[in-house]
């Protein structure tokens, strides 16, 4: 009774991916990857996704620690607000970023008038858009590990005379490392695939703002073969992330 | 006493009129079942063709005109695949040629309108742009269509012809996205069709591009091979080509063929 829908569900998820692999023009795979547009987009995606992960670690780790360890009024609210971009449609994230940081936006117009600095159409805008959508993934992963580790080891370190910063650096962080790595992998995958917020907020220009997904979208109207080749690259990257997280997601209890 | 009388009176009047509306709708529906005209038209024709469709229904009792507005390339492909429709109108000759080559068009398509590109700037013109050459001024962020879209091909050609050396800030996926970036003030300027600029009204200011007419887009219309009613399809095309059709198109910014 339940087997047929289950088989259907598996087929539903697997068939499009198999079709993508089958539809990839393998014979010219490397040639297509070597064209200038694809190389530019590959390089830009690599740079922006790594910068996004770096930024997530830099600001996401302290936030995760605060959410997991510090009791303060409104913590539940802050936590909920932080997670909103996780469920927000990416294009809405883009519209929100334009409203805040766009040239006519809340902060963007002030930046433009005061410093003559404009964020849209720059690689920085791509990284900002990616971090906006990737940060919640990172924070949830790290916070989860910090919570499940508990504060016991921190307390032990403190009673042995370690200061708050030493405790964080020498005890809390090493114990949370698996969560940090998982968070990085999730943030990286999210950044690599980000499209809606990027094209809405940062724009689409080869070399500065055209990431792999934006190039796929542009090439769907032009050279479909190129679009399929890049899609294959992103599928491989996703499989790579999954392989890296296999202990977390693929282990059957 | 009066009020008591008035309410049932009003109610019965309302009922009667709604009944009348019902019956007239039913009548139209029954007749429409006999005659229906389906037109595949480029997205940029949405406003004008909708108006012309209503006009056509007025003069042709019991005919129901329905439209499918989409990108010309998509519509041409659908026409070749035998989509059940009577008329095809595209935004450039290339897509119509594809439909003709695919055997989808009965007879020769006729050009009914032209469109050219124009430079648009936000209403407050933050970068102080007064001519096409000003795109080269430092600090100007202008946007174009991506080159896989027809507007991108024409736009890139005009940029090259105009000797503009500054790169665009972004290549948007279609002409409406370019217009939106300019209208919202997120870009200093953009290249769109004259008809888009007209539709945007006071949100943008148009600046003529020298030599824009060398990159003229021609809009052809033709009867589809699979039509069930040659005469009705031909009559619709007649309306589009008539003075009436000309006027509606000109109001929207389209040029004469």
Between B18 and A117, the more confident residue is A117
Chain B within 8 Å of A199 (Cβ-Cβ)?
yes
Average of per-residue pLDDT across B157-186 = 91
Cross-chain residue pair B147–A103, CB shorter than 8 Å? no
Return the minimum-mean-pLDDT range out of A241-245, B178-182, B202-206: A241-245
Q: Is residue B233 part of a domain?
A: yes
Nearest residue of chain A to residue B172 (CA atoms): A204
Question: Which of the 8 DSSP states describes residue B228?
Answer: S
The pLDDT score that the predictor gives to residue B73 is 80
Q: Is B153 exposed, middle or buried (0-12, 13-18, 19+ CB in 10 A)?
A: middle
Average of per-residue pLDDT across A86-90 = 90
Q: Which residues in chain A touch residue B170, judged by CB atoms under 8 angstroms apart?
A: 121, 202-205, 209
Which tens digit of pLDDT belongs to each residue from A8-27? 999 999 999 999 999 888 88
Residue carrying the six token digits 């059957």: A252
Nearest residue of chain B to residue A101 (CA atoms): B186
Please report the ipTM that was assigned to this predicted complex: 0.77
Confidence check: pLDDT of B8 > 60: no
Confidence check: pLDDT of A121 > 70: yes
The pLDDT score that the predictor gives to residue B7 is 47
Coil/strand/helix, residue B105: strand
Residues B101 and B79 in one domain: yes
Confidence check: pLDDT of B9 > 50: no
The pLDDT score that the predictor gives to residue A51 is 98
Q: Which residues in chain B touch residue A202, judged by CB atoms under 8 angstroms apart?
A: 170
The pLDDT score that the predictor gives to residue B207 is 95
Residues B126 and B182 in one domain: yes
Q: Under 8 Å CB-to-CB from B256, ≥6 apart: which residues? A: B113, B114, B246, B250
Question: Which of the 8 DSSP states describes residue B67?
Answer: E
The pLDDT score that the predictor gives to residue A251 is 63
Confidence check: pLDDT of B2 > 60: no
Residues B127 and B78 in one domain: no
Can you list the domains of chain A with their CATH numbers?
40-245 (1.10.3720.10)
CATH of the domain at B238: 3.40.190.10
Residues B104 and B129 in one domain: no
Average pLDDT, chain A: 91
Q: Is residue B7 part of a domain?
A: no
In this structure, the number of other CB atoms found within 10 A of the CB of residue A91 comes to 15
Copy the structure tokens of residue A28: 């010219």
Residues B134 and B187 in one domain: yes
Q: Under 8 Å CB-to-CB from A206, ≥6 apart: which residues? A: A36, A37, A40, A41, A215, B171
Task: Among A103, A199, A205, select the one facing B186 at the smallest CB separation.
Answer: A103
Residue carrying the six token digits 């000309």: B246
Phi and psi at residue B99, in whole multiples of 5°? -65, -40
Structurally, how many domains does chain B consist of? 2
Radius of gyration of chain B (CA): 23
pTM of the full predicted structure?
0.77
Q: Is A2 exposed, middle or buried (0-12, 13-18, 19+ CB in 10 A)?
A: exposed
Residues B141 and B178 in one domain: yes
Q: Which residues in chain A touch residue B141, judged by CB atoms under 8 angstroms apart?
A: 103, 118, 120-121
Share of chain B above pLDDT 70, in %: 87
Average of per-residue pLDDT across B3-31 = 44
3-state secondary structure A89-158: CHHHHHHHHHHHHCCCCCCHHHHHHHHCCCCCCCHHHHHHHHHHHHHHHHHHHHHHHHHHHCCHHHHHHH
Chain B within 8 Å of A217 (Cβ-Cβ)?
yes
Copy the structure tokens of residue B234: 């031909």
Residue B98 structural domain: 34-114+218-251
Q: Is residue B109 part of a domain?
A: yes
């Amino acid at each position: 009774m339940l087997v047929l829908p289950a088989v259907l569900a598996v087929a539903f998820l697997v068939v499009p991916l198999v079709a993508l692999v089958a539809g990839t023009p393998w014979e010219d795979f490397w040639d297509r990857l070597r064209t200038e547009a694809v190389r530019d987009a590959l390089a830009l995606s690599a740079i922006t996704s790594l910068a996004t992960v770096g930024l997530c670690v830099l600001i996401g780790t302290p936030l995760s620690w605060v959410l997991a360890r510090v009791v303060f009024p409104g913590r539940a609210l802050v936590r909920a607000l932080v997670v909103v971009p996780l469920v927000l449609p990416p294009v809405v994230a883009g519209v929100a970023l334009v409203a805040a940081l766009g040239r006519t936006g809340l902060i963007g117009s002030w930046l433009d008038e005061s410093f003559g600095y404009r964020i849209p159409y720059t690689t920085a805008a791509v990284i900002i858009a990616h971090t906006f959508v990737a940060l919640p993934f990172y924070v949830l992963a790290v916070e989860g590990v910090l919570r499940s580790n508990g504060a016991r080891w921190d307390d032990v370190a403190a009673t042995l005379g370690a200061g708050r910063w030493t405790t964080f650096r020498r005890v809390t962080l090493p114990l949370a490392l698996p969560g940090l790595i998982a968070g990085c992998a999730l943030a990286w995958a999210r950044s690599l695939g980000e499209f809606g917020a990027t094209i809405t907020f940062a724009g689409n220009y080869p070399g500065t703002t055209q990431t792999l997904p934006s190039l796929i979208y542009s090439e769907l109207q032009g050279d479909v073969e190129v679009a399929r080749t890049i899609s294959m690259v992103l599928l491989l990257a996703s499989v790579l992330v999954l392989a890296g997280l296999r202990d977390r997601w693929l282990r059957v209890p | 006493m009066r009020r008591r009388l008035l309410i049932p009176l009003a109610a019965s009047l309302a009922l009667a009129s709604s009944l009348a509306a019902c019956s007239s709708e039913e009548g139209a529906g029954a007749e429409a079942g006999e005659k229906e005209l389906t037109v595949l038209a480029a997205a940029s024709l949405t406003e004008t063709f909708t108006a012309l469709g209503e006009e056509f229904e007025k003069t042709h009792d019991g005919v129901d005109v329905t439209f499918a507005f989409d990108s010309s390339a998509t519509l041409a492909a659908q026409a070749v695949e035998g989509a059940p429709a009577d008329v095809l109108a595209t935004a450039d000759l290339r897509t119509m040629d594809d439909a003709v080559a695919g055997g989808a068009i009965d007879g020769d398509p006729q050009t009914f309108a032209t469109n050219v590109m124009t430079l648009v700037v936000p209403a407050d013109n933050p970068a102080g742009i007064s001519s096409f050459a000003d795109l080269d001024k430092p600090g100007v962020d202008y946007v174009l269509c991506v080159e896989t879209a027809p507007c991108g091909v024409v736009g890139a050609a005009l940029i090259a012809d105009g000797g503009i050396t500054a790169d665009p800030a972004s290549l948007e996926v279609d002409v409406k996205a370019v217009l939106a970036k300019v209208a919202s003030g997120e870009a200093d300027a953009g290249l769109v069709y004259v008809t888009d600029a007209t539709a945007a009204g006071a949100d943008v200011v148009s600046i003529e591009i020298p030599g824009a007419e060398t990159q003229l887009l021609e809009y052809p219309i033709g009867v589809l091979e699979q039509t069930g009613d040659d005469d009705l399809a031909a009559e619709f095309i007649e309306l589009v080509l008539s003075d009436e059709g000309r006027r509606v198109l000109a109001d929207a910014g389209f040029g004469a063929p």
